Amino acid sequence: MNAKLYVQRPAAYPQRQMEGEGVLRTLLLAFALALPMASMAYLKIQHTRLSYAMSEIRDQIRQEEEVRRTLLLERSRFQRDEEIQAYADKAGLMPRKQSHLVPRAFTQEDQRLAKLVPPVPPTGF
């Protein structure tokens, strides 16, 4: 009898291999589910950061527009004042007491002296 007997050996830890494969599949499933959720969370965080940055930029633009409007208003007032001053000089008009457009003819020293000296009474009455 030359027939060979084949002895089957039990596979080394077959349950362990199956258990390891199950854990691997579970980890892959968890990773497959976690990756889109992590991507969504990352995108939401980036959206929030972007909205904060945009609100800061909007505030800065609003402030710059306010400054620009103020400067344009001042420039138009200055141009108007210059035109009034040029017309007053050309027409030979005298400034009113409250006028700030025509430069004063008296210096600070003249004004100080005028306060010290009493007014001269008018003659002719």
Residue-wise burial string across 6-42, b where 16 or more C-beta atoms lie within 10 A, e elsewhere: eeeeeeeeeeeeeeeeeeeeeeeeeeeeeeeeeeeee
pLDDT band at 41 (very low <50, low <70, confident <90, very high): very high
Domain span at 29: 23-93
Structural domain contains residue 12: no
Structural domain contains residue 4: no
Residue 95: name the closest of 81, 112, 79, 76 by CA. 81
Structural domain contains residue 56: yes
Structural domain contains residue 102: no
Structural domain contains residue 108: no
- Which residue blocks in 1-125 are alpha helix, DSSP H? 14-91, 108-116
Structural domain contains residue 63: yes
Q: Are the C-beta atoms of residues 81 and 101 closer than 8 Å to each other?
A: yes
Number of domains within the chain: 1
DSSP code for 121: P
The pLDDT assigned to 79 comes to 82
What average pLDDT does this structure show over 59-66? 94
Structural domain contains residue 76: yes
User: Across all residues in the chain, what is the average pLDDT?
Assistant: 77
Structural domain contains residue 71: yes
What average pLDDT does this structure show over 89-117? 65
Name the token pair of 78. 């200055």
